[in-house]
Amino acid sequence: MKRPLGVSLISYFYIFGAFILLFSSFFYDANANQIDIATRFGLPNAPEQLIRTLVALSSLVIAYGYMRLRKWGFWVMIGYSVLFGVISLSLSLSHSQQPFIGNMIWSIIVLLYTIYVNKAFFQKKHK
């Protein structure tokens, strides 16, 4: 089966985001008035640059498995979308800022689309 267009677009978005996150970890300003990614993931005492790097590398691995239509890519993307959606929902309720609401909506879209095209991940592949 050919890879669905949405899977490619979502994968490219995650790859792009991972590179931006890696790039931003080099220029992270601890004094900026922002909510850190480490805090968003419930690790407020963890080094921010380390967490940014780990999230970016995890996103690259997830995007690879998702783009290659691997079963583990499907399940990890489902889990990541749920996790990131819940984090974004809790932050949007406590801070009521647009980026968190947008992240939550994006997570819902990715989750629903991934479930919609699940057959692409579970069909037998012929070599």
Which of 84, 53, 73 shows the shortest CA–CA distance to 114? Answer: 73
Total length of the chain: 127
For residues 12 and 26, what is the distance between their CA atoms, to the nearest angstrom? 22
**Can you tell me which residue has the tokens 């999230």?**
55
Mean pLDDT split into 10-residue runs, the chain, 127 residues = 91 95 79 68 79 92 96 96 87 69 90 96 73
Show the CA angle centred on residue 74, arms to residues 71 and 77, nearest 5°: 145
pLDDT of residue 97: 60
What are the helix and strand counts (H, E) for the chain? 6, 0
The pLDDT of residue 32:
62
Residue 81 CA to residue 64 CA, distance in Å, equals 15
- So what's the pLDDT on residue 123? 87
Cα 32 from Cα 36, distance rounded (Å): 10
Q: How far apart are CA 50 and CA 102, in angstroms?
A: 25
